[in-house]
Structure 1
Amino acid sequence: MQGRRRIITAAFLFLAIGVIGLFHDRAIAEKADGQASGDWISEIEKIFIRSEDCKQCHDRHYEEWKGAREQTPDLKTFGRVDAALLHGTSLESPVFRTVLGLWIQTNPTAEERTRCLSCHVPSTTVFPQHAEKMVTQVLAGKPKIEGIGCASCHLIKSVQTTAAPPPTFVIEPDKTMYGPYADPEENLVHPAMQSDLYRGANFCASCHFDKVKDVTQKNLPGEILQGTICQDCHMEPSTGSSTSKRGAMTRSIGRHWFRGVVIPGTLLKNRNLQAEWMPRIDIETAKSSANVEGTVLVKVGSLPHSFPDGDPILKQFFLEITVKDIRGAVLASETKRFGLGYDKILRGPIPDPFIKGGNTRKVPFSLAVPAGGSPTLIEAVLSYGLIPDPAPELKKQYLATLPDDKDREAAMKVIEEYTQPRMLTYRAKNL
């Protein structure tokens, strides 16, 4: 009996030691895996320090960048897209996650994936070897690295002076932070240096390349905005200090929330600006007993700024042409779509957007009139969507990759809201 008890005790001790050893080995393995997965993040953050660290001195700019400051009704109401796509949420945005997820289903190459991330995660241009890990984190909805942070912009030392494919910025992977001021305060955190680039439109156009005629130019050409740069409107002018420390309260500084879509004060003060910004439509027609044909002219003035806002690669435009009789009954209608589908994005050169400042797009049409119909009016409506509407099979394929119904519901909401056409302008003409 006693011998049997000893055997049982020995077996129990052996089992306990084995279990403890198993858990110990697993803990070591998990720790090693964690360190391995975090090594590449640490490697990036040695150069691209997190904005939370910058907050210790630059709390005002940090809160603006993060979207924590001055969420005024006009920003929330008119700037819905902006509020969802602040620079500080370039990787966290559910819109980016959804669009990237749909696009990944079209099997882009590693080079195409890196190119896609280059503006959303500027550190990719320095660490392209980690691009695939970034994609994996974004698709999981849990990005552990920062997208467009303080360092992403303030490590930019130059932009390419040729019309190279975007992005055209060149990052200096060092400790020096660049900015617009000639007399940056000395500090123990990082060296600072002035760069004239931060007072130029070519700085912003290195990613927002569809907004201007020539991305290499420092100023925006044209009579209306002569001498104006992107920062004048999108970094709302203010005064004070760029740090939480001290500084001349009369010093001019720019806010870091990068408002867009609607800037009511600017538009209301300058009606010429409003007229040049918005596209206009003219219609040239010829009518016969069998059809109505002609050309729709979509014109954008000399202002070198494209409207609407949104991603320069994803935007979709819709031109609906309708012929009606004297009672307003529709005799014929056609909708023409302009923009890339997911399977064409970043495959080859990036085409000019359908609407571009200083350009006129000519769209021919021919509408057959039913027998006995008498066309008396033609209408043209120009609308836009912010992202392509995925084909049903592509949407189904992407939704199947999401882990649960909550994620699928969120993705479907993004697709519905951001593909929805929004009217830009309208023209009617008697025949």
Structure 2
Amino acid sequence: MTTLRTWRWIKAGSLFLIAVLMGAVAVYDGAVAQKPDGPAGAGAGDKQAGQASGQASDGVEGWVAEIEKTFIRSEDCKQCHDRHYEEWKGMREQTPDLKTFGRVDAALLHGTSLESPVFKTVFGLWMQTKPTAEQQTKCLSCHVPATTVYPQHAGKIAEQVLNGKVTVEGIGCASCHLIHAIEPNGGPPPTFKIKPGSTLYGPYSDPEENLVHTAEQSDLYRGANFCASCHFDKVKDVTKRDLPGEILQGTICQDCHMEPSTGSSTSKRGSLTRQIGRHWFRGVVIPGTLLKNRNLQAEWMPRVDIEATKSANSVAGTALVRVGSLPHSFPDGDPVLKQFLLTITVKDAQGNVLTTEEKRFGLPYEQILRGPIPDPFIKGGTTRKVPFSHTWQGAAVPASVEAVLTYQLIPEPSPALRDQYLATLPSEDERKRAGNIIDEYIQPRVLTYRVKTL
């Protein structure tokens, strides 16, 4: 009797255990198609509905999954290249400015090319000017190199940026390491050429074999023309592999902007023989380069000279703006947005202002990418001549002319454009944050000045 009762309990327990396991399998089968925070228990019908509405089977939107088949996410690269990943993402040596804006020394980190609230704000202002789909793609081509392979998705990427919910990656590991060629004759930017496939390119002649991807050497990664394919206003000739001139002869962008050291580009320990570069691309990551080269210190910033003649009630002349002999333009890495302001002021012997004029150089939002991109106001190794002529009423005698050169990181939007963009934001907090970003980035920053006694 006892044996029979025990058998019945074992049988019932086994049936219960089987039912629990079958239920767990059913739940797992439905849950794998969801995002981590998605509802459990979704079945095959939900999978099909998600895919039909543009969702991939892993919960990623179908068009994003299509891009990621070619441009593998940098999080996947992190498994072997953790240090480079953390530098690229700004997870090492963060400053308060970087934490707030994704900005270091007025330069956006590549890893924040889409996520930065600065980019969202500037892009949002520009989008209020109604750029065409082609112009939007041209704008995004450097911030999201994947748009050069998938231009049909540029509109969706723009929408994600404006919504502040970016799931696609901007400038990631694959964006740079799938570049296999540069347009040899320059031409409209960007000049890089991406080769979709499983091969990633880099500077090493003997890349380590691995089971993840094939690797191949490309001389581009030791050339200034690689960086100039997007930062095209920084050098006089985007087709040159190095910077000419007596001071920087043979120098490339990577020498200063990817702090050099020895080690391993992977997580492999004990490899200390390779030359590697940091992947955070700051403005000037090794100030020692400036400190040990006095000629470089003297030449790297713009300067102004003044030629002027006076008469009874007028002063006329030319402001000469130049960047020494360096083939490198300053400041900031952005080739489109910068605004330069040259303020000419005439004063009498007591320092009273007789007349003043501000000359602005740079495109307003309404003209950006609506035609050829103009040369920057000042270009390394060249001189920009800016004429001026001032008159005034009265018997005051001019004693000096003052020229002050400043720059703004972004164009100052008109009040109407500013209000129009801020009205698109859903909350007062977001409008306040965007307004603060605009005010911060339109602040004039002094580059140099000159006073000439008449």
Same fold (TM over 0.5): yes
Alignment of 1:13-412 (within 5 A): 32-33=52-53, 35=55, 38-71=61-94, 81-82=104-105, 85-246=108-269, 248-261=271-284, 263-412=286-435
The structure-2 alpha-carbon separation of the partners of 1:56 and 1:408, relative to structure 1 and needing over 3 Å to count, comes to: same
Amino acid at match of 1:223: E
**Could you give the per-residue CA deviations for residues 69-102 of structure 1, whole angstroms, max 9, x where no partner exists?**
123699899x954476100000001111111111
Counterparts in 2 of 1:270 and 1:74: CA distance versus 1, 3 Å: farther
Q: Distance in 1 between matches of 2:243 and 2:104?
A: 25
Do the aligned residues in 1 keep the contact of 2:97 with 2:104 (CA within 8 Å)?
Answer: no
- Give the CA deviation at 1:45: 0.4
Amino acid at match of 1:65: W
Alignment partners' CA distance in 2, 1:418 and 1:93: 13
1:90 partner letter: S
Q: 1:164 to 1:191 in 2, by over 3 A?
A: same
Aligned sequence identity (%):
73
SS at match of 2:233: helix
What CA distance in whole angstroms lies between the structure 2 residues aligned with 1:144 and 1:80? 20
Residue type at the aligned position of 2:350: R
Answer whether contact 2:259 2:286 (CA < 8 A) is retained.
no
Asked if the contact 1:261–1:309 (Cα under 8 Å) also holds between the matched residues in 2, the reply is no
Identify if the C-alpha distance between structure 1 residues 128 and 207 changes in structure 2 by more than 3 Å, giving closer, same or farther: same
Code of the aligned partner of 2:193:
V
Q: Which residue of 1 aligns with 2:442?
A: 419
Contact 2:73 2:169 in 1 (8 A): yes
The amino acid across from 1:331 in the alignment is: L
Does the residue aligned with 1:189 lie in a helix, a strand or coil? coil
Provide the rounded CA distance (Å) in 2 between the counterparts of 1:54 and 1:335: 49
Question: Secondary structure at 1:409's aligned position in 2?
Answer: helix
TM-aligned CA distance change 1:83 to 1:184, over 3 Å: farther
What SS does the corresponding residue of 2:359 show, helix, strand or coil? strand
Residue type of the alignment partner of 2:306 = I
Q: In structure 2, how many angstroms separate the alpha carbons of the residues matched to 1:312 and 1:274? A: 23
In structure 1, how many angstroms separate the alpha carbons of the residues matched to 2:72 and 2:201? 14
**Distance apart, 1:367 and its partner CA:** 1.2
Aligned mates of 1:250, 1:243 — CA distance in 2: 13
- Compute the RMSD of aligned alpha carbons: 2.1
Contact 2:348–2:397 (CA under 8 A) maintained in structure 1: yes
Deviation, structure 1 residue 35: 1.0
For 2:305 and 2:106, the matched residues in 1 are separated by 34
Instruction: Output the CA distance in 2 between the equivalents of 1:284 and 1:255.
Output: 45
Give the counterpart letter for 1:140 in structure 2.
Answer: N
Describe the SS at the equivalent of 2:305.
Answer: strand
TM (normalized to structure 1)? 0.90
- Pick closer, same or farther for the CA change 1:232–1:201 going to 2, 3 Å: same
Give the partner amino acid of 1:58. H
The alignment partner of 1:91 has SS state of coil
- C-alpha deviation, 1:155, in angstroms: 0.3
8 Å Cα contact 1:212-1:304 kept in structure 2: yes
